[in-house]
Amino acid sequence: MRFYNKLCLFGTLVLFFACSHKLQTNSVDFVDYQIGKTAPVDSAMVRFLNPYGSKMKATMGKVIGVSKQGLSKKQPESPIGNFMADAMKASAEKVFNKKVSAAFVNYGGVRSYFPKGDITIGLVYELMPFDNLVVLQQLSGTLLQQLLDKTAVDGGWPVAGISMEIKDKKAVKVLIDGKPLDPLANYTIANSDYVANGGSDCPFLKPIPQENKGYTLRDALIDQIQRMTASGKTIDAQLENRVSLSKD
């Protein structure tokens, strides 16, 4: 037993001194490996990946709709942003089975555009590569004004159900469903869980309870496109002066 105790003590001391010993870097070197078209093909890896690659191409290449024109990204308002916000609002109302006053898509989350012509699932993934979820929050008119002011500071976000002007980095002349914003009213808004959890410099939204069904914004876009296609419609989003710069 004494030998065992001494052995444990010795091991503890060795570990202590080993961990307390400071190591110093004497030199740093690296080898630059260029990876390009001239790199040799690993035939074994190609055979391994081919089945997965074929399935991926088939899924991502599936055409789910048609865009009447190219939809670009810009501020304070853009066709692609309007389409995304509209899709988010319409899909949220179906999934949550309730009226949604407004929908927001943070401008930084719009990662691509839609070309004219066939729209594939892959293009939707390029537009929205993140797994952001659609959530609902109940905001007072005062808090909604704060969110709108935040979007104004950023130069304008894609929105649905709202029209506003930006003046001195503030949201003015705000209309919700065609009616002036009421500071005392409560509004149901659709947002991404990223923003609702305080992302995009929106910490004031984090304390607000969320209704979450695990429904991604990407699925909201796909579902909306498929609904439009099923009803014989093409994607034809336009600028509608939802967000504009004040001329006053």
Give tens-digit pLDDT for 100-115.
Answer: 999 999 999 999 999 9
Confidence of residue 159 (pLDDT cuts 50, 70, 90): very high
Which DSSP symbol is given to 114?
B
> Do the domain assignments include residue 190?
yes
Radius of gyration of the chain, Cα coordinates, nearest whole angstrom: 26
> Do the domain assignments include residue 46?
no
* pLDDT of 19: 56
Structural domain total, the chain:
1
Between 49 and 165, the higher pLDDT residue: 165
> Do the domain assignments include residue 25?
no
> Do the domain assignments include residue 155?
yes
The answer, yes or no, to whether residue 132 has pLDDT greater than 50, is: yes
Assess contact for 138 and 186: CB atoms under 8 A.
yes
In the chain, the percentage of residues whose pLDDT exceeds 90 is 76
Summarize the confidence of residues 5-17 as an average pLDDT: 49
The answer, yes or no, to whether residue 4 has pLDDT greater than 60, is: no
Closest CA to 83 of 248, 247, 222: 222
> Do the domain assignments include residue 10?
no
The parent domain of residue 204 ranges over 56-237
> Do the domain assignments include residue 65?
yes
**Half-sphere exposure (Cβ direction) of 244: Cα atoms closer than 13 Å:** 10
**Half-sphere exposure (Cβ direction) of 127: Cα atoms closer than 13 Å:** 25
Give tens-digit pLDDT for 69-97.
Answer: 999 999 999 999 999 999 999 999 999 99
Supply the CATH number for residue 228's domain.
3.90.780.10
